Amino acid sequence: RSAMGSIGTPNGNGNGIGHGSAAVARRQHAEGPAAMLGIGTANPTGVEVPQNIFAENLFRVTKSDHLTELQQKLTRICEKTGIDKRHFHLTEETLAAHPELYDHDAPSLDNRLAITVDAVPKLAQCAAAKAIAEWGRPASEITHLIFSTYSAWGAPSADLRLATLLGLRPTVNRTILSLHGCYGGGRALGLARELAENNRGARVLVACAEITLVCIGS
């Protein structure tokens, strides 16, 4: 808001925007601070792995049992994380059908992206639908969509796919944050706040979805 105030103030050289434009800008601002109107979460439905056997399971399905020292290290890490279970999109059947996913000598990026390009927006759809239901208004009233992911790249982009899955208006303002990693969710919320507080009547949907397929390997 302070930035908008400085923009709306003449600079003394006759080159400022002027008080009239400043008043218009103030009318475009929301009347109060941004607030969360609904929250939803979702997990991949492929397979659920208890944390106490995660390391053993990972090394087995990626045919890396011979890396005993590394497996022991991961086991120790898992014991201290406080996580009870993990959810994965990949199943053992999928890994068996795609050995290139855990073979460092085999090209696999195209195959990984072919899986995530559909799976990531669908995972985001599950969580977003819950948030919209908690909000209690139709999805068509959403004015802005922010989608953060490092797991899905391509064209059409994941934000457009998600907007289509949710039935958002074709005119919805879309922003995608790609390759931000763990930082993406925080930045997405910050951007949503800026949009909500500077656009009267804005309803901003934030979606963050990741599938570890992009980085899984032996």
pLDDT: is 34 or 133 the higher one? 133
For residue 208, give the nearest of 171, 165, 167, 177 by alpha carbon. 177
Fold of 108-218: Peroxisomal Thiolase; Chain A, domain 1 (3.40.47)
Read off the amino acid at residue 182.
C
Read off the amino acid at residue 217.
G
Dihedrals phi, psi of 50, to nearest 5 degrees = -60, 140
Confidence category of residue 20, pLDDT binned at 50, 70, 90: low
pLDDT at 91: 84
Rounded to 10 degrees, the C-alpha dihedral 146/179/213/174 comes to 20
pLDDT at 33: 83
Spatial neighbors of 98 by CB under 8 A, at least 6 apart, are 108, 111
Between 158-166 and 109-135, two packed helices, what is the crossing angle to 10 degrees? 40
CA distance 22 to 5: 7
- Each domain of the chain, given as residue ranges in start order, spans 47-107, 108-218
Q: Dump pLDDT digits (tens) for 116-148.
A: 888 999 999 999 999 999 999 999 999 999 999
pLDDT at 123: 94
**Strand 204-208 to strand 47-50: parallel, antiparallel, or no bridges (unpaired)?**
unpaired
Confidence category of residue 110, pLDDT binned at 50, 70, 90: confident
Q: Dump pLDDT digits (tens) for 57-88.
A: 888 888 888 999 999 999 999 999 989 998 98
Mean residue pLDDT of the chain comes to 83
The answer, yes or no, to whether residue 184 has pLDDT greater than 70, is: yes
Average pLDDT value for residue range 75-103: 87
Read off the amino acid at residue 138.
P
Average pLDDT value for residue range 34-38: 90
CB 148 within 8 A of CB 177: yes
pLDDT at 127: 96
Between 68-80 and 54-61, two packed helices, what is the crossing angle to 10 degrees? 150
pLDDT: is 123 or 9 the higher one? 123
Q: Please confirm, yes or no, whether 182 is among the known catalytic residues.
A: yes
Confidence category of residue 12, pLDDT binned at 50, 70, 90: very low
pLDDT at 90: 82
Spatial neighbors of 113 by CB under 8 A, at least 6 apart, are 152, 153, 154, 214
Which residue in the list 78, 182, 208, 215 is annotated as catalytic? 182
pLDDT at 32: 76
| Biggest CA pair distance of the chain | 74
